[in-house]
Amino acid sequence: MSQGMIFDVKRFAIHDGDGIRTTLFFKGCPLSCVWCHNPEGISMKPEVAYYRHKCKCCGACAKACPEGAHSFTEGGHIFDRDKCLGRGECEAVCPNSAIKYYGRQVTADEILPELLSDRAFYENSGGGVTLSGGECLMQADFAAEILSRLKEEGIHTAVDTSGYVPREAFDKVLPYTDVFLYDVKAIDPAVHKRCTGRDNSLILNNLKYISSRGAAIEIRIPFVPGYNDSEITAIAEFLDTVGGITKIKVLPYHNLAASKYEALGMKNTLPERVPTDEELKSAISAIRSAAPLSHLR
């Protein structure tokens, strides 16, 4: 039985596929999107986040940490990341949720009861379980095991993916995936690399591949002014050549994850400007000119 590294389980999710769903977030991502709103999912390693604004300086974390990564002075709480080994003892004793431990190793047997606990809601709403991230297909063997076990239980499954993984990863999960939630961020390779740090040829080729295999695909386009807004028409024209697309969603960028970057000690790359209603309407109009209206959400 394989193991996987996850960082969250979100129950009653309504934006990760049809109906009421539980979303399992896998840790690790091969992309470095400037607008990433789940920075805790980028690294494959467990991480400790310190949310300074929640800290009451009670000192419990300092007593619990064997490495001495937490200390207190007249200036307040000091968290020394160089000393932290990412084991998470401090999270367990913090009374104010100022410390969050992202990353736990689980088996399918351990996580399945949590994923199946809302089965009644899935059945009544047409929902199910979504694997997300990070990039869940970086852990393709574990993802396939989870998905196959869910299908044995009659649960609808969705895979939320950037597409930047080897083709073999898709082969492992295709038999057990009811729908792929597939990100398309840009068509121009240079624009894509500027936005994510990677070329997009693998992503587009994989999209064509799963289409040729008869997969149901929901396209998701993150819309970020100043980064990929000039790509919308080209994305729509490309998608018009791909079969199996059941929906196209334009996801307006938001910058609400800034506190996560600070808490993780990461450089905040989030763009300052969010799209206006008019910009969003213009993007939707551009897609409608090349894709069937019935697909657009």
pLDDT string in tens for the chain (297-residue length): 689 999 999 999 999 999 999 999 999 999 999 999 999 999 999 999 999 999 999 999 999 999 999 999 988 999 999 999 888 899 999 999 999 999 999 999 999 999 999 999 999 999 999 999 999 999 999 999 999 999 999 999 999 999 999 999 999 999 999 999 999 999 999 999 999 999 999 999 999 999 999 999 999 999 999 999 999 999 999 998 999 999 999 999 999 999 999 999 999 999 999 999 999 999 999 888 876 544 555
Q: Is the pTM of this model over 0.85?
A: yes
Q: Does domain 3-45+104-295 have CATH number 3.30.1490.20?
A: no
CA distance 290 to 297: 14
Radius of gyration of the chain (CA): 20
Q: In the chain, where are the structural domains located?
A: 3-45+104-295, 47-102
Beta carbons of 211 and 46 less than 8 angstroms apart: no
CA distance 53 to 196: 30
The class (CATH top level) of 47-102 is alpha beta
Q: Could you count the other beta carbons within 10 Å of the beta carbon of residue 234?
A: 16
Structure tokens at 31: 């992309």
Of all helices (H) and strands (E), which one includes residue 154?
A: none
Strands 156-161 and 128-132: parallel
Question: Three-state DSSP class for 136?
Answer: helix
